[in-house]
Amino acid sequence: MFAWIKVQHQGIDVCINNAGLALPEPILSGKTSGWRTMIDVNVIGLSVCTREAYMSMKERDVDDGHIININSMSGHRVVPSANVHFYSATKYAVTALTEGLRQELREAKSHIRATSISPGIVETEFAYRLLRNNPEKAAASYASIKCLKADDIASAVVYVLSAPPHVQIGDIQMRPVEQTS
């Protein structure tokens, strides 16, 4: 993928890590394969893309790039639902990785910025995938409150990217007004 980007677009100036998934795999009874899948997508995939984006920027002397991790409110709190506890652990990792990235960029004397955007409930296919055996429950979770929309997250990305070059926005936590946790 990164080789193709280099050929087609010369490289990366902005990386938005938006892949993420939750599987209903509790800590006490979950399948190791499900845990590995979540780690591979939510932590390893994000880290590989971050590294490759940074290398692309460095190779081309881009010192004003931006790496944005689409995280989750689950990276800041743990809800009382066993099915998402392991997922929360992966999102806490994203919180730590974003701050670690920011520190490494400062140490490298880079002006590339690192931001985490942590939304609450966003009306996507996410709940349907998490609750794949119970689509009615997934639909009800979205119908119960006025959820965030993909456009709301896109607006947060635009906001972060439009900040002056000397402004580091570390984390945006956003959730629907009606969301309780």
Nearest residue to 84 (alpha-carbon basis) of 44, 35, 36 = 35
Catalytic residues: 87
With beta carbons less than 8 A apart as the criterion, state whether 116 and 171 touch: yes
| Nearest CA among 98, 128, 123 for reference residue 178 | 123
Residues comprising the chain, all counted = 181
Contact 142, 130 (CB under 8 A): no
Amino acid residing at 47: S
